[in-house]
Amino acid sequence: MNNIVILPIIIPFIIGAILIILYKRHAVQRVISGITMLILLAFSVFLAIYVYQHGTVVLEVGGWKAPFGIVIVADMLSTLMLLLSTLVGAACMFFAFQTIALDREKQFFYPLFLFLMVGVNGSFLTGDLFNLFVFFEVMLISSYGLIVHGGTGYQLRESFKYVIINVFASALFVVAIAWIYSIVGTMNMAHIAQRVAELDQAGALNIIAIMLFIVFASKGALFPLHFWLPKSYYGPPAAIAALFGGLLTKVGIYAIIRTFTLIFNHNLEFTHKGLLITIAGVTMFIGALGAISQFDFKRLLSYLIISQVSYMVMGLGIFTPLAVAGAIYYIAHHMIVEPALFLFAGVTQKITGTTDLKKMGGLIGTHPWLTWMFFIAAISMAGIPPLSGFFSKFPIILGGFEAQHYVISGVALLVGLLTLITMMKIFSQVFWGKQKHTEEQGKIPVGKLLLPILPLIALTIILGFAAEPMFTYSMGVAEEIMNPTNYIESVLKE
C-alpha cells in the first residue's frame, strides 16, 4: 500500500516518456496530457485525505531500509503541496491548450511540462537530501526547456541568466550536501535531523544551514538573489509563466520550510529570528517597491511573487505555531491566486495584444466577466476580507506581534498596503478608463479561456469563507512540522 506515494512521481514520468514517442502527433499529446493532469489531481486529493486520516506514509524505495536507502515520505505538508501543485499544473495545462502557438506545442511542450511535474512532486515527497537535489535538477532542466520554449531573442538572453544562477545554486547545493555528509554521515533527512540534534547544531552546522538557505533562497527568489526572476518570467507565454510563478519559487520555499523545521531548529535566535526574518523583511519591501514601479502586467506580477513569498519565510522565521500555520495557509492562498493573475495577464494579452499597462484600458466595457473575476483575484491578493488573502496574512502578522517582532510585522502591514496599490493600479489602468483596444478586439470571446481560471477563483473564495476548517488543517500541518519527532519516528521506525 505504501507504493501509492510514488505514483505522483511515476505517472507523469511514464506519460512523459510515452509522449516523447508520440512527439509528432500533438493532438494525441494534448488529450493524453490533459487526462493525465486530471488523474494526478484526483490522486493527490485522495493522497491528502489518506495521509490526513492514516498519518505519514513512508516508502522505502527498492526495499532498502532507511536510513540506507532512499525514502519517499508523504506527510501532511508534502501532500498539501502536492495537491496545490497538481491543481496549478492542471489549470495551466488547460489554459495552454488554447493559448500556446502550434509551433511551440510541437517542440516537446507536453513532455517538458510533465517532467517538470515529476521534479516538483518529487521535491515535495522525497525524504533524502541528495534525492532532493536530484529532483531539483529534474525540475530545473525541464524549466530550462520551458523557459526558452519558442526561442525568441529575449527569452534566450534572459534565460541564460536564469540557467547560470541555477547552475551556480546547484553547485553550491552539492557542496553543502557533501559537507553535511562529512559531519553527520547520512543523507536521510530524518537521520540527519536526529544527528544534528545530538550535536546540538554546533559550529559548522550553522554554516551549512546558511549555505542551504542560500541555495533555496536563490530558487525561491529571496533578496539579494531575486534579480533573475522578473526578467526571465516575462519572456515565456502566460501559461508557462503562471506555472513557474505558482510552482518553482514555492519548491524553494518548501525546501526552506522542510530543512528549517526538521533539521536546523536548535539555534532559533540565529537562523530563524535573525537570518530568516531579516531576509524576509527586506525581500518583502523590495519586491513590493519593484511591483509599484513597473508598468508591465507580467513584470509587475513577477515582482509581486518576490514580495509575496517572503510572507511565508516570515511566518517560518517567527516560528510560533500560529505564524507557521499562517505561512502554510499563505502558501495555499498564493499558489492559487498568483497563477490566476498570470493567466489573467495572458487573457488580456490575447485581447489587446500587449502586456503594457499604459496601452490597455476600458476592458470592463467589452469583457465584464473577465473584469470581475480579475477583481476577486486582485483583492484577494491584496488581503481584503473575506477572501483567502486576508485569512492568510492575518495569522502571520498577529503571530509577529504576539512574538514581539514589531518591525517585521509593521513592514508586513506596509507591504500589504503597497500590494493593494499595485492591484488598484492594474485595475484602473487595464479595466477602467478609456477603451484603447479596437472594436474587433473587443469582440474576442474569452469564455473558454476563463474556464481553467474559474476553479482557482472559486477556491480563493472558498478558502476565505471556509477559513476555519482550512485554518484548522494548517494548524495541524504546523504542529506536525514543528514537532519533528513524528517525522523522524515514522521514517526510522523506532
Binding site for other proteins (CB under 8 A): 2-3, 6, 10, 13-14, 16-23, 59-63, 72
From the CB of 156, what's the least distance to other proteins, in Å? 15
Looking up cell 500533438 gives 26
From the CB of 70, what's the least distance to other proteins, in Å? 9
Which is closer to other proteins, CB of 2 or CB of 472?
A: 2
Residue 74 main-chain phi, psi, to 5 deg? -115, 100
Q: Going by DSSP bridges, is the β-strand pair 57-60/71-74 parallel, antiparallel, or unpaired?
A: antiparallel
Which is closer to other proteins, CB of 61 or CB of 424?
A: 61
Cα(245)–Cα(242) distance, rounded to whole angstroms?
5
DSSP code for 430: I
Which is closer to other proteins, CB of 112 or CB of 275?
A: 112
Cα(136)–Cα(215) distance, rounded to whole angstroms?
11
From the CB of 104, what's the least distance to other proteins, in Å? 17
Question: CA geometry: angle at 338 spanning 127 and 265, to 5°?
Answer: 35
Cα(99)–Cα(105) distance, rounded to whole angstroms?
10
Which is closer to other proteins, CB of 21 or CB of 27?
A: 21
Which is closer to other proteins, CB of 20 or CB of 45?
A: 20
Distances (CA, A) of 154 to 49, 143, 151, 164, 236: 44, 16, 8, 16, 9
- Positive or negative, the CA dihedral 41, 42, 45, 47 is negative
Which is closer to other proteins, CB of 116 or CB of 222?
A: 116
From the CB of 459, what's the least distance to other proteins, in Å? 31
From the CB of 92, what's the least distance to other proteins, in Å? 23
From the CB of 32, what's the least distance to other proteins, in Å? 13
From the CB of 149, what's the least distance to other proteins, in Å? 16
Which is closer to other proteins, CB of 9 or CB of 80?
A: 9
Can you list the alpha helix ranges (DSSP code H) found in 108-147?
A: 109-125, 129-147
In 3D space, the residue among 310, 308, 258 whose CA is nearest the CA of residue 281 turns out to be: 310
Which is closer to other proteins, CB of 153 or CB of 469?
A: 153
Sequence-distant (6+) residues with CB within 8 A of 297 are 345, 348, 349, 355, 356, 357, 360, 426, 430
Which is closer to other proteins, CB of 135 or CB of 471?
A: 135
CB atoms within 10 A of CB 217: 27
CB atoms within 10 A of CB 4: 15
Which is closer to other proteins, CB of 482 or CB of 492?
A: 492
Cα(246)–Cα(158) distance, rounded to whole angstroms?
19
From the CB of 105, what's the least distance to other proteins, in Å? 16
SS (H, E, C) 305-318: HHHHHHHHHHHHHH
- 199-216 in b/e form (b: 16+ CB < 10 A) is eebeeebbebbebbbbbb
Cα(430)–Cα(419) distance, rounded to whole angstroms?
17
Cα(320)–Cα(484) distance, rounded to whole angstroms?
14
From the CB of 82, what's the least distance to other proteins, in Å? 17
From the CB of 486, what's the least distance to other proteins, in Å? 22
CB atoms within 10 A of CB 448: 11
Exposed / middle / buried, residue 293 (Cβ in 10 Å: 0-12, 13-18, 19+): exposed
Which is closer to other proteins, CB of 23 or CB of 465?
A: 23
Which is closer to other proteins, CB of 19 or CB of 129?
A: 19
From the CB of 74, what's the least distance to other proteins, in Å? 13
From the CB of 20, what's the least distance to other proteins, in Å? 3
Cα(137)–Cα(119) distance, rounded to whole angstroms?
7
In 3D space, the residue among 133, 132, 130, 94 whose CA is nearest the CA of residue 113 turns out to be: 94
